[in-house]
Each structure stands twice: as structure tokens, then as C-alpha cells.
A and B are shown apart, each in its own frame.
Chain A
Amino acid sequence: MSGTSGAIDEAARTRGLQKENHMTTHTTPNAPTSGSPRFTSGALVTLEVRRALRNKKFLFFSVIYPALLFVIIAGGADSTTEVAGTGLALPAFMMVSMASFGALTAVLMGNSERIAKERQSGWVRQLRLTSLPGRGYVLAKTASAAVVSLPSIVVVFVTAAAVKDVRLDAWQWLALTGAIWAGSLCFAALGVAVGYSATGDAVRPITMILYFALSLLGGLWMPTTTFPHWLQTLADWTPTHAYAALGRAIELGGAPHAGDVVLLLAYFLLFAGGAAWLYRKDTLKA
């Protein structure tokens, strides 16, 4: 059989080459493989953002819900009494908490659940059969989460200013927005790590536990000053605590404390490193 199949190979090859030659005159010219780098991830980012903005449940929980919680918690509080040991009145204190909480919801939930579900459905595998660089997927997920987290921050701010008369300098509003938005990247990385370690069924409970623990211990729902001492000590080391502290320092008119920035950065490196490791592991076994 080897003789005949050799002849077939030869025939097919010649036929292929003829057709290929014929093709090049008709279709778009072949792009050189090492051509100008294209921002291929852009197309996926656009579609992910569009999809996120279409998901009403996701939008409610990340954009409307934090502002609603703010009104419920800070609504009855007067604007002069300080939250013990913080130098901030309750509305201002809760504004940063809820803005941070909203951003956390958007990026953590957005990344972890989607990634785990799409790994299970095989969409991640399908994407690996396109020109999209592997990290493009994670990038697109994070970018779309960030697009939703920005309005969730702004809506809390607007609500606080309108309902509870929170007043800050223009630079403070901008710095707050920037700090809370940038800080949310830490939790976006955590979301990616969870998405690549959990299965489609387990991802929701795992995310919820992390989400509640981080929100509660970080003092996003109530000041940690009300905690017993041992819990306060533990809370001081959570990433969410450092995250909310960035905003509070800005509200007090200063720069974020170096200690908080370093802690948050350390967590970011830990989460991002873990996410990268899990991603690579997942890629190898597909």
C-alpha cells in the first residue's frame, strides 16, 4: 500500500499547490506571521463589556446595590458624629466602604464565576483555537469588570453627595475614584485565581464565602472598631481593610498610608501570581 499512498500523496500535494497558487490571486494576501502586533484582545474586550452591560442581575448587584446599602446604613445617621477613631463622619466613612464594596463585587464576581463556567462549557478551549493570546482572555474579563466597577463607584459617590451632603474637594473626588478603581485590580486578580481553581458548580459558594469574609473583615459593612480586639487584629491584615483605608486617607485630605499601599500591593502580587500559575496549569491540561 505504501507505493500507492505515495502516489496519492504526490497527487494531492501537486493539486494542493495548484489550488494554493490559484487562491493567492483571489483572497486577501497572507499576513506575515511576524507582522505588526494587532490588539486582538480589543475585540473580545468590546464584546465582554457589551455582554456585562446587558446582564441586569450583575448590573444591579454591582452598581445599584452598594448605593442602596449606603442609603440604608447611612440614611439615618447625622453628618457630624465621628466614627470612633477614624476622624470621619458616618456618611463619609460609609461612602468609601460602599464604593469599595461595589467595585469588589463587580470585579470578584465578574471574573470568578464567568471564568469557571466558561472553562466548564469549553469556551475557553474554543478561544485557544483562535489567534487571541492566552492572557487576552483574562485581560478582557478584567477590563469588562473594570468598566462595570467604575459606575458602581460613581453611583455611590453621587448618592452620598446628593442624599447625605458629603462634600469633598474636586481633587479628592478624583483621587478617590482613581484609588478605589485601581485598588479593585487586586480583587480582579483574586477573581481570576478563583475562576481557574474552582469548577463550575463550586465557584459560587467559594466566591460568596470569600466575598462575605472579605467585606465583613475588611470593615466594608461596619467599622471594624466594633469588633472584639482579636478580630480587629485579624481584620487589619485583610486586603479589603487596606483597600478601604486608601479611600479614607484621601477623605481626610492626605495621601494613602504607605503601609496600606504595600499590603494591598503584596496581596495583588500574591493573587496575580496565583492566577498566573493556575492559568498555566489549566492551559497545559486544557
Chain B
Amino acid sequence: MVHMTTTETTAGTARGTAAEAAGSAVSFDRVTKAYGDVVAVDGLSLDLYPGETVALLGPNGAGKSSTLDLLLGLRRPDSGTVSVFGTGPREAITAGRVGAMLQSGGLMDEVTVGELVRLACDLHPRPYRVQDVLAAAGIAQIADRRVNKLSGGQEQRVRFALATAGANDLIVLDEPTTGMDVTARQAFWATMREQADQGRAVLFATHYLEEADAIADRVLVLHRGRLLADGTAAEIKARAGARKVSFDLDELRADGAAAVEQRLRELPFLSALDLSGHTVRLQSTDADATVYALYGLGVHPRNLEVAGLGLEQAFVAITAAEEARSA
């Protein structure tokens, strides 16, 4: 409590708006955006907080890019409000609180990497030193190279440097590791973690689900412009139905296999069952209860394994379920 009071005072004097006190870095309130007949963002409401690393997932056309554009004030919502640190997106950007790296963001050509990063530092109200920004982005050794002579991965790093040229409170990244090899990708996320550890909110859109699983402490799943799921990667996986249970059952090779199979199908919390030979694979929304009931059948399962669904499978399950529901 004492701690909270002091931080509130600090935040209050340094920044001081009502939304700050509530702590939200980004707030969407029933935001809608349509292009002609296509509704890209459909009544979206969400809040992001300082210190959170949030992954934005969704199939192509789910509204990820539109959501980021709205967040950054590159487009205006048809209805609803977007606020960033209690102000409009443009004000927050002008105040140097937001750094962003967009796929569609180009670079000035015919200048060197160093000159471009210096420009970004000069434009930032709370800049870091140019050498530090170059080093953090891993491009210090190519500072003298012309921007139009870079590889795709190097360009991404330059974009990253531009997004982190000063002390931002929110960093927005759209598919940041596209074009990077595995090593570069790992180095990138290590840098990103440092940013988050310094109390920044980091929001990234990605189609590498393992990245979301490994990096994000919160995952947002967008589908047709609406928020389909919002929670930790573990929660999203749990919500997708669950866990996988597999085992071998010798009783399925003996007489009365049909009766055994019938009893398996009646197990509680079962969401899918697959028999191949005497191997049983099932999905359960409550694996503990299902396994307990399984032993209650008086059978002798061998090689029993219980595993969670990967985020990728969970993601597919959630969006497919929604697709089926809305069809």
C-alpha cells in the first residue's frame, strides 16, 4: 500500500492524467473500423498495461494490422475511442511515449544507417545515445552502410532501432522477426525482453505462435475484428479444450473390445476420441477427472501420457470453433 502511494505520486507528477492513475497504457473502447463493406475492427475493447508483453494473434484478415494502425493514430476509428496513456494516439507519439515498427514502414534511402538512427534520436523528445541504440539493435558494425544496401534482416533491425531511439513507454511491433534467421530472432527477443523488463508495455503481432508462447505474458486472439480470447498462453491453451491423453489398452485386442470402446466413449469431459489398433488418443477438458474415471473402468492402460495442446493447436481450435459458430 505504501509502495502504491509513492508510485502514484511519481506517476501523478510526471505524467498525471486520470487514465494514468488507472494505469492503462492503451485503451480501446468499443472501437469499430470498416473499409466499405468489410468490417476490419468490430466493437473492440481492450486495455494494455505497463510492463506487459502482449502478443496479438489472429488469422490473416483478422484485423491485426488495422488494430495497430488505429492504436498508432494512422487511421481513425469510425466509432469508439482509442486512448494511449490517457491521450489520443498522435499526442502520445508526439510526446515520445510510443515507439513502433511496422511492416509497411519504409526507410529513407541514400543515407547511412547511422545517419538514419541519429535522425530518429534527434526527433525523439527523450532520446538515447545514438551508439547505444545502434548497439542494442545489433547494427553498430553496419552504421556506415547505405540504407538501400541492406538485407531484409538488417532492414528489420534498423526499423527496430528507429522504434527504440528513445525512452518509450510502449513499443508496438508488427511481425518484427519476419526475414530474420533463427539466431537473429533469438537476439531480437532478448533485446525485446530487456525493454519489457524496464517496465515498458510491448505489443507485438506475429504469426510465429511459438514466439507468442515463449515471449508473451498475455495473448490476445483476434478474429474478424473481435477479441476472441485474452489471457496467458496457458489459459488460451486450456480454453481450447484442453489436454491430450494417450495410452495403449490391451483389452481392445481381446474379446469384448466393442464394450470397452463403448465405455471409453462415455468417459467424462471427453472432447475427442481416436482409436487406432489398441492405442487410444483422446482430448479432455479435465484430464485429471478423465484419467481417474479411466482407471475406474477396471482396465489397465499402459504408456499413459497427458500433455497440453500447443498454442498453435489451441489457436487453430479456438478460431475454428468460432468459424463454425458464426457460419
Residue positions of A touching B, CB distance < 8 A:
1, 4-5, 8-9, 12-24, 27-31, 33, 35, 38, 40, 42-44, 47, 50-51, 54-55, 118, 120-126, 128-133, 284-286
CB proximity of B240 to chain A, nearest CB, Å? 12
The answer on a CB contact under 8 Å between B49 and A123 is no
The chain B residue sitting closest to A54, CB to CB, is B110
Chain A residues contacting B49 (CB-CB under 8 Å) are 9, 12-13, 16
- With A1-B235, A4-B231, A44-B119 as given contacts, are A131 and B105 in contact (CB-CB < 8 Å)? no
The answer on a CB contact under 8 Å between A13 and B51 is yes
How many contacts A-B (CB < 8 Å)?
Answer: 169
Chain B residues contacting A15 (CB-CB under 8 Å) are 51, 199
Residues of B in contact, count (CB < 8 Å): 66
CB proximity of B160 to chain A, nearest CB, Å? 12
CB proximity of A124 to chain B, nearest CB, Å? 8
- With A1-B235, A17-B7, A30-B14 as given contacts, are A122 and B199 in contact (CB-CB < 8 Å)? no
CB proximity of B281 to chain A, nearest CB, Å? 26
Chain A residues contacting B198 (CB-CB under 8 Å) are 19, 23
Interchain CA distance A244-B73 in the complex, whole Å? 44
Chain A residues contacting B99 (CB-CB under 8 Å) are 129
Chain B residues contacting A42 (CB-CB under 8 Å) are 122
Can you list 18 contacts pairing A with B, beta carbon distance less than 8 Å?
Answer: A4-B231, A5-B230, A5-B231, A5-B235, A13-B23, A13-B51, A16-B52, A17-B50, A20-B169, A43-B119, A43-B123, A55-B110, A125-B104, A126-B102, A128-B74, A130-B123, A131-B96, A131-B125
The answer on a CB contact under 8 Å between A125 and B96 is no
Residues of B80-130 at the interface with A, using a CB-CB cut-off of 8 Å, are 87, 91, 93-96, 98-100, 102, 104-111, 115-116, 118-120, 122-126
Interchain CA distance A41-B248 in the complex, whole Å? 71
- With A9-B49, A16-B199, A17-B23 as given contacts, are A30 and B110 in contact (CB-CB < 8 Å)? no
The answer on a CB contact under 8 Å between B14 and A24 is yes
The answer on a CB contact under 8 Å between B105 and A126 is yes
CB proximity of B196 to chain A, nearest CB, Å? 9
Residue-by-residue, is B173-209 near A (CB-CB < 8 Å gives 1, otherwise 0)? Answer: 0000000000000000000000001110100000000
Interchain CA distance A35-B14 in the complex, whole Å? 12
The answer on a CB contact under 8 Å between A44 and B95 is no
The chain A residue sitting closest to B104, CB to CB, is A122
The chain A residue sitting closest to B238, CB to CB, is A1
The chain A residue sitting closest to B163, CB to CB, is A129
Chain A residues contacting B94 (CB-CB under 8 Å) are 33, 131, 133
Q: Which of A12, A129, A286: most chain B Cβ within 10 A?
A: A129
The answer on a CB contact under 8 Å between B106 and A123 is yes
The chain A residue sitting closest to B22, CB to CB, is A13
The answer on a CB contact under 8 Å between B109 and A8 is no
In the A-B complex, list the 10 residue pairs whose CB atoms are closest, starting with the nearest: A19-B199, A16-B51, A16-B50, A122-B106, A121-B106, A43-B122, A126-B105, A123-B106, A33-B95, A286-B74
The answer on a CB contact under 8 Å between A16 and B201 is yes
- With A9-B49, A19-B51, A125-B74 as given contacts, are A50 and B115 in contact (CB-CB < 8 Å)? yes
